[in-house]
Structure 1
Amino acid sequence: MSTGNPATDLPRLSLAETVAKRIEARIAEDTLPNGHRLGTRDSLRREFDVAAATLNEAVRLLTARGTVSVRPGVKGGIFVATPPPLVRLGRKMLELSGDSVPVSDCLVMRDALEPLLAREAMRHRTEADIADLRRLAAEMAEQAESGVGYLAANWALHRRIAEITPNKVLQHTYTSLLEFVENRLRGVTPDEPATRYVEGPAVHRELVEAIAGDDPERLDAAVEAHGALTAARGGGT
């Protein structure tokens, strides 16, 4: 139920992404060098006035992107990291292309990579991976009537699937495309009750369960069903 406060009404994943974007913006605007200490989890949580779970999710997103590193110990904390060369290359290609790169082209490439990512996820997933995927699929279902919330949960699920593969070329190519689409669509999706996502949660739950199983035919069917959503709905599948 809505609290009437736009900030607290946003889902945790959306807030985590917002915090991650603000940290990325600070690093870029202040040209912070590799190894610069951004703070501790607790100090950053207080600074952005979010729950510990939200800050932890933001740090996980940034760590997966190669933007920050986490160091334990008394002098530890969250530090600026230099993204891996593949991440920098993917981002630079899209930046140089600018507005000449349509979202539709990125979606075509993303969709072409998703069957391979799903097979890689089935092959390499751990119990912890599956637990995360099931949690994210459940959050998608909870946000099915919210355009912004559903897309945030959707992107988080697909990013988590991509993190499973040990193939870093595949992982970073996919996540670079995902980030490009995400940034283009963010802020233009109406956050209002929607019926367009009614099929999405069930399709993604089946995709997760197929990844958790050992039946390649079931996985192929789940990927095909997901592809049909992509064709019908565009970026928010």
Structure 2
Amino acid sequence: MGATDDTRGGMEPPALRRGEWERPAATRAEVAARRIAAMVADAEPGERLGTKEELRATCGVSVGTFNETLRLLQSRGLVTVRPGPGGGLFAAEQSAMRRLGNSVLALDAKEPDGTRADEARRIRDALVPLLVEDALWHGSPADVAALRQELTELAEAARRADPVAFADADHRLRTRLAAVSPNALLRSLYATLLPVAEPDAVEHLQERYDHHAALVDALEARDRDRALALARST
């Protein structure tokens, strides 16, 4: 296409909002996962969504990309897979809190500007200092060791410049941090909002890893001021 295609008929292309040009582009697997998440939000628990091939064709992605999509959906507790005749992907049985999280994902898929998802991310990030405060009070050496194990996976994903693997490892690290809190409501609410996380841009992966590593270091040192400062800049 020529450079003038965007201005056919004398019309200029619409200006992007600040949040749109700053937000890293989601991978095709993540976009497909959001599309199926929207289907899950509209389905009854246990309802059949379709076969893998039917859903792959609906999303318009390759087999490899759909396998990554399926992995994301399963890690978030959105779908179950049943083999054999009559099998395929089914909407998972979910708690009320998990259904709330699915609704957030569905809104992100349906609203082009992603406004609702941005609001959900704000709420999720506002909970991090509470989780860190609990980790400072209740975290054991075993908890710190478990966080460091997740950091190893995060570092490897950053080294490979793999934003999807990084997002997956980031999800596990955040889940492990939340597990330290004795507050069941806080853990549940945070877990519900975790699926709205998006893969970071490749150039930001090392920076994100360094931030997480510094937070774990602060937790191990019981450095409350440092840990909370890092938590607030998540």
Q: What TM-score do you get using the length of structure 1 for normalisation?
A: 0.53
What displacement does 1:143 show? 3.6
Asked whether the 8 Å contact 1:155–1:178 carries over to 2, the reply is no
Among candidates 161, 165, 172, match of residue 160 of structure 1: 172
Letter in 1 for 2:158: M
Aligned to 1:87: 98
Per-residue CA deviation, residues 158-211 of structure 1 (Å, 9 max, x unaligned), is 32235554987554321333345x37xx8xx8x5856xx65432454677xx7x
AA matched with 1:200: R
Is 1:113 paired with 2:131? yes
Unmatched segments (≥5 aa) in structure 1 = 1-10, 211-216
CA distance in 1, matches of 2:141, 2:70: 22
Distance 1:77 1:111, change over 3 A: farther
Query: Which range is displaced more, 158-167 or 14-23?
Result: 158-167
Q: Classify 1:61/1:221 alpha carbon distance in 2 versus 1 (closer, same or farther; 3 Å).
A: farther
* Other-structure match for 1:176: 192
> Which amino acid is the alignment partner of residue 62 of structure 1?
L
Do 1:115 and 1:223's aligned partners in 2 also have CA atoms closer than 8 Å?
Answer: no
Structure 1 residue 69 displacement after superposition: 1.6
Aligned counterpart, 1:220 = 220
Count of aligned residue pairs for this structure pair:
192
1:17 lines up with 2:51 in the alignment: no
Identity of paired residues, percent? Answer: 28
What is the identity, as a one-letter code, of the residue corresponding to 1:84? S
Q: State the SS of the aligned residue for 1:78.
A: strand
Amino acid at match of 1:15: R
1:88-237 map, 5 Å: 88-89=99-100, 104-114=122-132, 116=134, 119=139, 122-123=142-143, 130=149, 134-143=152-161, 149=163, 155-163=167-175, 165=179, 169-180=185-196, 182=197, 193=203, 198-204=206-212, 220-221=220-221, 228-231=229-232, 234-235=233-234
Amino acid corresponding to residue 55 of structure 1 in structure 2: F
TM-score calculated relative to the size of structure 2: 0.54
- Which structure: larger Rg? 2
